[in-house]
Homo-oligomer: A and B are copies of this chain.
Amino acid sequence: MIRWNVFPQGTMRSSRFAIALFVLLLAGPQPRTAFGEEGMFPLTELKKLDLGARGLTISAEELYNPDAVSLIDAIVNIGGCTGSFVSKDGLILTNHHCAFPAVQAASTPEQDYVTHGFLALQRKDELRARGNTVRIIESYRDVSRDVLAAVTDTMAPGDRARALSAKTKAIVAETEKQNPGRRAEVAEMFAGRTYVLFLYTYLRDVRLVYVPPRGIGEFGGEEDNWMWPRHTGDFSFLRAYVGPDGSPADYAPENIPYTPKRWLRIQPAGVEEEDPVFILGYPGRTYRHRTSHFLAYEQDGRLPAVADLYEWQIATILRMGASDRGVALKYDARVKSLSNTSKNSRGKLQGLKRLQLVRTKRDEEEKMQAFIMADATLRSKYGTMLQEIGDVYQSMNTTAAFETLMDNLRVASARLSQALTAAEGARELRKPDLQRETPFMERNLARTKDDVRLALRNFHEPVDRALLAEDLRRLRNLKQEQHHPVLDSVFAEMDGKGGPEQWLDRLYAGATLQTPEAVFALMESSPELVDQSADPFVRLARRLAPVYQMLRERRQDRDGQLNKLHADLVEVKQAFQKTTFIPDANSTMRLTLGKIRGYAPADATVYRPFTTLKGIVEKATDSEPFRPSDKLLTLYRERRYGKYAHPALGSVPVALLYNLDTTGGNSGSPLLNAAGEVVGVNFDRTFEATINDYAWSEEYSRSIAVDIRYVLWVTEFIGGAQHILRELGT
């Protein structure tokens, strides 16, 4: 499932997957470059596209018009996913998995909406969707000149990274001051070259309208995640509310449905194979403009390390949860997140190998190097550019294992994580707001605290301890050149105190930060009080603090180097290829277009682009995640398909495939036909399409949507929600 997403500078993830994401952000390299042929077009590029030639009947102006209402005004970002307005009363169609945390929060053992689904028969029954906000684009403008004025070509790399960060924080603060109630974000389009300031409205009162039962919305679960053939009814309906005066407001009973500028029409007849389709949404992050050095680092260093470590953690949690249902529930989201990432990593590794991407990029770069060397000016300016990029990744490679484990250490154990948060917070909160680390800025502090609360709610000491112990064991087993004196002193202490187990006994026995209040109290005290804490986790956090500070600086240094080098790279590449490029995905709105189309995932295997109800029955077992409801089985047996049967397939289509260019963050994006009508809800890519992050491939890049016919069939026949169908006008 396309669950994780990467947010532009200055925002934070709202979902429960923030932890795993955070590791990815820390572990993965940051800036962007400019190769490629991909199709995630930013709004600024739409005018260059010949939509008619691509099979669309909707006009460019109807699609996007900065001076008037257009289709893109119906597209929102909802809690890290994409959603779309589908009625004049603020009804939003998005994924089941995007609404899931809110459904879980609204459920109790007596009212188990997670299992049975939720349907509001009247507006007043619509339930608060906690933690969800709806983000609407108000405007954007290029601020490249402003941002780049903060740096010079001769700055030290770390200083360059810090200067860019400080400048964008200042622009955001200034913009938000001028636009009360709105949030600003600066998106880096091309590292060191192009920066765009977006101004967003956030609707804070979001409610659940219809969420199908888990047996439909999560059918197939982790097993089918990233897979085709797929049979997940991954959709839900929510509604945005505003205050009685029409402006964004916190949840209140007297609030009224929001009236969007534009909403989408639903096409209940769906689409056919080879029909043109397009998607508007918020793809999170791609890395296509990176060099072969980056890909080699991913292939040989980061991905295998992450997959191996996460798979070990999954196995450990599952083993410990097997005998304790409470543990299983607490760690359910963590296991999902870890599985999602490790399976994604395995998919990428397969794709890198199959497409031989490192070799292909290397061949391209050799030609570019020859082009540089053939021109005296280019040679003097860029002769060592590729080599310098290679050097940065070379240095990352040598410390990849250490960094992966250090990043994981601060999330694997909630105890250690809270101690680090308290210790770092105590230091950061002293600083002026704009100089703080992002999680501790005033605008983000509430979210940071929410994360602490969540982590402590899901704390279970034996699992926490097992994960901490294994991470430390792995750190200890690293090759000597990856050892760090601080860690070595910790290991020496362990040995001096009777070995790791006894050392851990004492650590957990002395833990004091057992409630969010205790964490916040220490965080809001002072660095001096932190220094005096006798809590062994706080003491461990203090010992590790310089290591994390070193890592932070090392990364700023790399970021600064790559920011400059990648800016040069775009320059050279444009001269070499005599063309311009589309920037890598960066959570800003993009359009991608293509066709409904199957593919061949492997030798002698062909995947057709539509699944049907028949496949649900084929997969059905007596246990989750493959247990369809009796109602669905009965409807299938009685062939009660309503008007939603696919004529040739003779059954209701459930999911469909297309060769569009999507990535994480596109979850919930409406799949639109040539006329711009909704024919599906995007929710995943295939296993082979995890490679999209590095390269789009006609051979393997396929994304997956719930077919609109299944959305409507479930809403009508399973949910019995005729009033929603009326509101949709179908």
Chain A residues proximal to chain B, CB less than 8 Å: 228-229, 231, 354, 598, 602-612, 614-615, 618
Contacts and interface: CB of A to CB of B under 8 A. Distances in A.
B229 A605 contact: yes
Contacts of A609: 604
A612 B607 contact: no
Total copies of the chain: 2
Nearest to A230: B604
A184 B542 CA distance: 85
A229 B606 CA distance: 11
A611 B615 contact: no
Lowest 4 A-B CB distances belong to which pairs? A603-B615, A229-B604, A606-B606, A604-B611
A610 B605 contact: no
Contact of A608 (B598, B604, B618): B604
A229 B605 CA distance: 7
B607 A615 contact: no
A247 to B, nearest CB: 47
A607 B608 contact: no
Contacts of A611: 603-604
A590 to B, nearest CB: 28
9 contacts: A229-B602, A229-B603, A598-B604, A603-B612, A603-B615, A603-B618, A604-B611, A604-B615, A606-B608
B605 A608 contact: yes
Contacts of A603: 229, 231, 611-612, 614-615, 618
A709 to B, nearest CB: 15
Nearest to A611: B604
Contacts of A598: 604
Contacts of A608: 604-606
Nearest to A608: B604
Nearest to A350: B618
A609 B605 CA distance: 9
Contacts of A614: 603
Nearest to A613: B603
Nearest to A609: B604
Contacts of A604: 228-229, 598, 607-612, 615
Given A598-B604, A602-B615, A605-B608, 9 more contacts: A229-B602, A229-B603, A229-B604, A603-B612, A604-B607, A604-B609, A605-B605, A605-B607, A606-B606
Contacts of A605: 229, 605-608
A639 to B, nearest CB: 15
Nearest to A620: B353
A602 to B, nearest CB: 6
A168 B356 CA distance: 64
A243 to B, nearest CB: 47
- Scoring A598, A605, A608, A615 by chain B CB atoms within 10 A of each residue's CB, the highest score goes to A605
A427 to B, nearest CB: 45
A187 to B, nearest CB: 37
A211 B376 CA distance: 61
A605 B607 CA distance: 5
A614 B354 CA distance: 10
A95 B605 CA distance: 25
A633 B611 CA distance: 36
A602 B610 CA distance: 12
Contact of A618 (B229, B231, B602, B610): B602
A284 B612 CA distance: 37
A601 to B, nearest CB: 9
Nearest to A655: B604
Contacts of A618: 354, 602-603
A697 to B, nearest CB: 14
A203 to B, nearest CB: 38
Nearest to A603: B615
A603 B607 CA distance: 9
- Scoring A231, A354, A603, A608 by chain B CB atoms within 10 A of each residue's CB, the highest score goes to A603
A607 B605 CA distance: 5
Contacts of A607: 604-606
A58 B580 CA distance: 65
A607 B607 CA distance: 9
Nearest to A600: B608
A702 B614 CA distance: 21
A608 B603 CA distance: 8
A354 B606 CA distance: 21
A458 B591 CA distance: 63
A645 to B, nearest CB: 15
A608 B609 CA distance: 16
A257 to B, nearest CB: 38
Nearest to A610: B604
A443 B609 CA distance: 60
